[in-house]
Amino acid sequence: MSDLHVMMARSAQAGRVTWIGVRGARRVDVIPVERVAVTFEGLEGDHARPGKRAVTLVQAEHLAAIGAYLGREPVLPAQLRRNLVVAGLNLAALKGREVALGSAVLRLSVICAPCSRMEETFGHGGYSAVRGHGGWCAEVVQPGQVALGDAVRPVD
């Protein structure tokens, strides 16, 4: 393995789950929860898209960036409609890798691009503000439980 591959595989620290949300159907409000079961289809109680888009994640640090692009305070996690907010770990560096959260294991698959709802939610420019900061989609490798405060770490 080259030095570059070794550096790319490293994380400075484990992250942590700071927010969890589920939505029971399309276009309904996202409900924050303290813990959730993760099944192969996605989060229990969530209107998920099984497969590579079963669970959506976003970095907590990006909430402030999106807010700054909109000229306001950090946006709220529920406004982005993602399932999990993770702090302290660069999710982009983990594309294609497995990540353990609580007793579940996810594989980060594809970027979670913004949808037209971001214009509805944030107003003019909302879509562009979220571009590049909307998080990641993941497939479930191992079902389990995820709770607020759980560590998030790459599976070696």
**Contacts (Cβ under 8 Å, ≥6 apart) of 31:** 21, 22, 23, 24
Compute the distance between CA of residue 69 and CA of residue 75 in angstroms, rounded to an integer.
Answer: 10
Quote the pLDDT of residue 40. Answer: 96
Quote the pLDDT of residue 8. Answer: 59
Helix H or strand E segment including 37: strand 35-39
Q: Tokens 């007793």 appear where? A: 103
Take residue 45 and report the two structure tokens written for it.
């109680």
What CATH number should be reported for the domain whose range is 3-154?
A: 2.40.33.20
Rounded (10°) CA dihedral 71, 77, 78, 81: 100
| Least confident piece of the model among 45-49, 103-107, 133-137 | 45-49
- Residue spans of the domains in the chain: they are 3-154
Q: Summarize pLDDT for 79-94 with one digit per residue, the tens.
A: 999 999 999 999 999 9
Q: Summarize pLDDT for 37-49 with one digit per residue, the tens.
A: 999 999 999 997 8
